[in-house]
Amino acid sequence: MSAPLLSVENLVLTFPAENRRIAVVDKLSLTIARGETLALIGESGCGKSLTALAIMRLLPKPGRIEASSRIEFDGRNLLELSVPEMRTIRGGAIGMIFQEPMTSLNPVTSVGDQVLEAVWLHEKISRAAARARVVELLHMVGIPDPRARFSAYPHQLSGGLKQRVMIAMAMAMRPRLLIADEPTTALDATIRAQILALLRQLSSSTGTAVLLITHDFGVVNEIADRVAVMYAGMIVEEGTRRELLSHPRHPYAQGLLKSIPRPEARGNRLVEIKGVVPRPGRWPTGCRFAPRCPSAFDRCRAELPHRTTVSASQGAWCHLVEYEVHA
């Protein structure tokens, strides 16, 4: 088996509060193989976006990546790289797109020139050749009439077109990994469908691996190969798309899927997850989901569960699953 493209081990992210540091992501580990799309799914505040930022070493201050953490990308430990080295990685091997294309584009530079900058970061070619490459990229992400759009400014483009420009910029560097943080959340339904189809097609045609950050199981089903479900700074279950959507084992993953209003549920009460997500610093001892879990028992409240292997690809951090599997 070849080494994974990205391997995150024991990632601990902390922020200061009063006179101590509070963990917001706690001993998180994940891997992404070359060409694979991994979805990191969870509700607001679970730490999924901070995990993505930490991988790029863009964790906002005063956040800190603790010393125990390891982030290995293509055989290099990203946490040991100098700032210029890291910048080369960000502008090359790892691309990133965000939820809000409106705030990520420079408003006073034409979109063509912005993509051109990205092209030049990656390859030293003539202006004419770079322009041709930009037009090719704009065409690849489905922007109609790319030659005319080259000189357009971001405010002249719709949200969907701006997100396409962001994707074109990220793809200009021919990245091996694309980190996509809620790439379709701010878009309308018909536009979201277009962008999902584009991401799926790009990752299969270019072989780019994708780390997808999302809260939407529908989006997961559309483009992910594997899924990791996060809750309160931890991964609580991981598995293939099919395993997670058809046979989730962790009560949180089960509850999340059941609480989605589906047509079959019409006329019936939706399954609720009682209570609210605990804030960092107020995480309970034991399993963090225990206070809201319908199946929690004494051990859950006392002891943090370890990973229980369910199948070659599926695992859950849950005492109940451990009993079920070993029964």
Partner 1 sequence: MTMLSADALLEVRGLKTWFPIRSGVLRRVRGQVRAVDGVDLTIYPGETLALVGESGCGKTTVGRSLLRLVEPTGGNIWFGGVNLSRLSLKAFKPYRQQIQIVMQDPGAALDPRLTVRDAIAEGMEAFGLGSPGAQRTERVADLMRRVSLDPELMWRYPHEFSGGQRQRISIARALAVEPALLICDEATSALDVSIQAQILNLLSELKAERRLTYLFITHDLGVVRYFADRVAVMYLGRIVELGRTERVFAAPRHPYTQALLASIPSLDPDRRGVKPMALGDVPSPIAPPSGCHFHPRCRVRLPSCSSYDPPVVPLPDGLSRCVLAERCADAKPEPERSATAAASALPPQPKAEPTRMEPSP
Interacting stretch for partner 1, rule CB under 8 A, among 26-34, 65-73, 256-264, 317-325? 256-264
Segment contacting partner 1 by CB under 8 A, of 25-33, 96-104, 114-122, 185-193: 185-193
**Residue 2 sits in the site that holds partner 1 (CB under 8 A):** no
Q: What is the 3-state secondary structure (H, E, C) of 255-301?
A: HHHHCCCCHHHCCCCCCCCCCCCCCCCCCCCCCCCHHHCCCCCHHHH
Strands 226-231 and 37-41: parallel
The distance of closest approach from Cβ of residue 163 to partner 1 in the complex, given in angstroms and rounded to an integer, is 11
Indicate whether 110 belongs to the interface with partner 1 (CB under 8 A).
no
Site for partner 1 in 126-155 (CB under 8 A): 144
Residue 300 within binding range of partner 1, rule CB under 8 A: no
- Pair of tokens at residue 231: 């809750």
Q: Please identify which residue in 52, 228, 277, 316 interacts with partner 1, judged by CB under 8 A.
A: 277
CB of 191 to partner 1, least distance (A): 7
Q: Specify the residue, 152 or 271, whose C-beta has the smaller distance to partner 1.
A: 271
CB neighbours of 189 closer than 8 A, spacing ≥ 6? none
Closest distance between partner 1 and the C-beta of residue 142, in Å? 9
Determine, following the binding rule CB under 8 A, whether residue 205 of this chain makes contact with partner 1.
no
Q: Report the interface residues with partner 1, using CB under 8 A.
A: 43-44, 144, 158, 160-161, 188-194, 196-197, 215-219, 221-222, 241-242, 245-246, 255-257, 259-266, 269-273, 276-277
